[in-house]
């Protein structure tokens, strides 16, 4: 399996354009969804797009799930203004994101865009 941190800048940019951005948008919208807006799809489909670059940057750096969960908590608390109480949901989202990133990069490197 290819290590996502081993991607060159050009490979990462290509993966992001061809596969990563679309997939990450779906995960944040359908699985993380701290604002509980997925029920209003498609009108709210781009709600979390502003958070994509920060999340993928942390994943590319190889942060652990705990740090990624902290970042999600920060996003919920600061820009969204939410009270953050659902640590289990956040931890599950961080685990999913970590696993997705490795699998997505691997699949893309083997088969091209999804």
| The pLDDT of residue 61 is above 70 | yes
Asked if 45 and 74 count as a contact pair (C-beta separation under 8 A), the reply is no
| The pLDDT of residue 1 is above 70 | no
Residue 48 maps to a domain: yes
Residue 8 maps to a domain: yes
Structural domain total, the chain: 1
Asked if 104 and 22 count as a contact pair (C-beta separation under 8 A), the reply is no
Residue 23 maps to a domain: yes
Residue 114 maps to a domain: no
| High-pLDDT (> 90) share of the chain, % | 82
**What average pLDDT does the chain have?**
92
pLDDT in tens, 4-55: 778 899 999 999 999 999 999 999 999 999 999 999 999 999 999 999 999 9
């Amino acid at each position: 399996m290819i290590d996502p941190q081993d991607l060159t800048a050009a490979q990462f940019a290509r993966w992001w354009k061809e596969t990563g951005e679309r997939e990450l948008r779906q995960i944040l919208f359908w699985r993380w969804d701290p604002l509980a807006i997925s029920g209003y799809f498609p009108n709210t489909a781009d709600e979390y797009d502003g958070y994509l670059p920060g999340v993928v940057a942390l994943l590319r750096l190889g942060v652990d799930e705990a740090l990624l969960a902290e970042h999600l908590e920060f996003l919920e608390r600061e820009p969204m203004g939410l009270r953050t109480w659902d640590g289990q949901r956040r931890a599950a989202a961080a685990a999913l994101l970590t696993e997705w990133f490795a699998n997505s990069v691997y699949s893309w490197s083997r088969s091209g865009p999804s």
